[in-house]
Amino acid sequence: MKTAQLIEHIPHVPTFKKFGRVTRVVGLMIESQGPDSSIGDVCKIHVETVNNGHQIILAEVVGFKDEIVVLMPFTSLREISIGCLVEGTGAPLEIKVGPELVGKVLDSMGNPIDGTLLPKGLTTVPTEQDPPNPLTRPPINERLEVGVKAIDGMLTVGNGQRVGIFAGSGVGKSTLLGMIARNTRADLNVIALIGERGREVREFIERDLGAEGLSRSVVVAATSDQPALMRIKGAFTATAIAEYFRNRGLNVMLMMDSVTRVAMAQREIGLATGEPPAQKGYTPSVFAILPKLLERTGTNEKGSITAFYTVLVDGDDMNEPIADTVRGILDGHIVLDRNLANKGQYPAINVLKSVSRLMNHVAEPAHKKAAERLRELYYTYDKSEDLINIGAYKRGTSQEIDEAIHYEPIITAYLKQGYLDKVTLEESVAELITISNGGAK
């Protein structure tokens, strides 16, 4: 930084520090008498360890009770005691970002998980930022290749679109995200693994993402054993990193697995701060934080963030509160069907229950016509499948059903794809049109 810029910052440098003292620890919360703070500010709790050492634990201001400051730590509560000094920073959480982060795996604070130091020359940005002004968002009118036939062909995604992947556990969400990360034509991937099992982080990076995918990705991981605040910050940190690259004119692919665990972490914080439970135990703050997080992605005047958010649905119930809320915010949803997975169809995308709200704006007329044709045939077969399987339907009774029976194995073969297979958007559309016109590949 130049001398003139340093001089400009001098009036804004605080001349004194604000301190308080820990007065109470209840459950996940720390209560402190002071310092003067605002909601979202980061505080430093100075702890004397058992070995007569000194440790600083970061915590965030999440509420107030009369004149008591309520804090939630980013790490565990171990060794925090009554009287510990609480230092106010007067600022929210900030992270360092830059092109040098590509290929790295970070924690929720933006630090490399492998213990290495961050490169020098990075830019400091806050993790929580406002969404782009609606009037500055360019319309989405360009297709984005994701390299998955079922999506490129039947559920075409626009550059800057936000899509939810809805599924129960073990149906292939992480595998599908890995396929998209390896195959997409986006300039850069930002992948947030929120609330995952610790075992799955390395497995996803090595097996699903692979060296090719990691070389053009930034991964943010907050495992299930970490405090609720760290899991929430992981989602905001990944979004802030994606915003930084979008503002540099790149087309970014953001993938978050899963937004449900972000909501569960916020519910944990809300209940701990005294919020009343609303729908199925979720607190009002959960439904306030989701649009703030999800609306930050999309297009702005400089670049775009195409986002895929996985939603873990309990008992495959697509109408549970979080799934219903997220589906209403996003620009489309992809439903992974357990029945299709049980039949060995991967990715287990149910194209009849899925929709891309922008496909009509970004796909060519011939492409749209072919997709509609295959969807009609698939729907006709699905509606009559029980009659066909029990032998109650006789060939020749309905020309539409006869045609659907003929096309069903062809359509199913089209929707199947090995997780290491890469198919371009042009190849997916060409094969779709060929099938629609009566041919089969």
Which is more confidently placed, 248 or 65? 248
pLDDT at 315: 66
User: What is the per-residue pLDDT for 180?
Assistant: 92
pLDDT per residue over 13-47, tens digit each?
Answer: 565 678 899 999 988 889 999 898 899 999 999 98
Report the top-level CATH class of 366-437. mainly alpha
CA distances to 271, 381, 387, 396 from 393, in Å: 55, 12, 6, 9
Q: How far apart are CA 151 and CA 241, in angstroms?
A: 26
Residues sharing a CB contact under 8 Å with residue 404, sequence separation 6 or more, in sequence order: 377, 378, 380, 381, 384
Confidence at 287, pLDDT banded by 50, 70, 90: very high
How far apart are the C-alpha atoms of 140 and 298, rounded to whole Å?
9
Domain ranges across the chain: 18-92, 95-363, 366-437
Domain 95-363 top-level CATH class: alpha beta
Residue 12 scores a pLDDT above 60? no
Is 0.85 surpassed by the pTM of this model?
yes
Give the residue, 72 or 390, on which the prediction is more confident.
72
Band (9; pLDDT cuts 50, 70, 90): low
> Helices 284-294 and 259-272 meet at what angle, rounded to 10?
140
Q: Give the mean pLDDT of 223-228.
A: 90
3-state SS assignment for residue 139: coil
Model confidence pLDDT, tens digit, residues 133-166:
999 999 999 999 999 999 999 999 999 999 999 9
- pLDDT tens digits, 204-224: 888 888 888 889 999 999 999
Give the pLDDT confidence score for residue 157 in this predicted structure. 96
Do strands 29-33 and 18-26 pair parallel, antiparallel, or not at all (unpaired)?
antiparallel
Q: Give the per-residue pLDDT at 90.
A: 87
Query: Is pLDDT at 7 greater than 70 in this prediction?
Result: no
The CA distance from 284 to 291, in Å, is: 12
State the Cα–Cα distance between residues 315 and 171, nearest whole angstrom: 12
126-141 tens-digit pLDDT:
999 999 999 999 999 9
Could you name the CATH architecture of 18-92?
Beta Barrel (2.40)
**pLDDT at 307 (0 to 100):** 96
pLDDT, position 242 = 97
Q: What is the mean pLDDT of the chain?
A: 89
pLDDT of residue 130: 92
